[in-house]
Amino acid sequence: MTSLHSTMNKKIAFSLALGSLLVSSIALAQTVSPTPSGSTRMGDKEMHKMTVNVDGACMATAVDKRDSAIEVVVDTYASTVKMALETRKTALKAAWGMSDVKARRQAINEAWNAYKKSVKSARRVFKTSRNAAWSQFRTDAKVCHGSSSEDNGGAGSDAQL
C-alpha cells in the first residue's frame, strides 16, 4: 500500500508541477507576446488606435522620403571622402618628390592633416544630415497618424553607416 501511495503521490506532484508550468507559460506568452515590431504586446486600445488611424500610403511616402535622403547623404559622404583621398594622394606624391627633408616632412604632415580634417568634416555633415532625415521621418509619421517607433529600429542600423 505504501508503494501505491508513493507512486500516486509522485504522479500527483508531477501533474501539479506540469500544470503549474503550463499555466505560467501561457501567462508569460500573453504578457510578452511579440508584436510585428518585435516589442512587447500592446494593449488592445493602442493596437486598435494604430490600425484604424494610420495612413499606410502616407507612411510609405515618409519611408521613401527618409531613405532617399539617406541615400543622398551616403553618396555625398562617399564622394567627399573620395575627393579627400585624391587630394591626399596628389599631395603625398608631390611631397615625396621633394629633395629637402624638412620641406618633405612638413608637406607630408600637411597632406595628412588636411585629409583628416576633410574626413572629419564629412563625417560630421553625414551624421547631422542622417539624423535630420530620421527627425523629419518622425515628424512625417505623426502626420500620418503612424508610430515611428514601429519603423524606428532601423535608426540604429543607419547609425552603423
Amino acid identity, position 104: R
> What is the per-residue pLDDT for 109?
97
DSSP class of residue 40 equals: S
> pLDDT tens-digit profile of 46-84?
544 555 578 888 989 999 999 999 999 999 999 999 999
Distance of alpha carbon 59 from alpha carbon 67, whole angstroms: 12
Count of beta carbons in the 10 Å neighbourhood of residue 89: 12
Per-residue pLDDT band for 146 (boundaries 50, 70, 90) equals: confident
**Mean pLDDT, residues 132-150:** 83
**Mean pLDDT, residues 103-130:** 96
> What is the per-residue pLDDT for 141?
87
Contacts of 145 (CB under 8 A, 6+ apart): 53, 54, 55, 58
- Residues listed for the chain: 161
The answer to whether residues 90 and 71 touch, using CB atoms and an 8 Å cutoff, is no
pTM here? 0.60
Distance of alpha carbon 62 from alpha carbon 64, whole angstroms: 5
> What is the per-residue pLDDT for 45?
55
> pLDDT tens-digit profile of 3-56?
444 444 454 444 444 344 333 333 333 333 344 444 445 455 554 455 557 888
> What is the per-residue pLDDT for 55?
82
> pLDDT: is 142 or 146 the higher one?
142
Count of beta carbons in the 10 Å neighbourhood of residue 146: 21
Q: Which three cell numbers stand for residue 40?
A: 512587447
> What is the per-residue pLDDT for 81?
96
Q: Which three cell numbers stand for residue 111?
A: 597632406
Per-residue pLDDT band for 147 (boundaries 50, 70, 90) equals: low
> What is the per-residue pLDDT for 54?
83
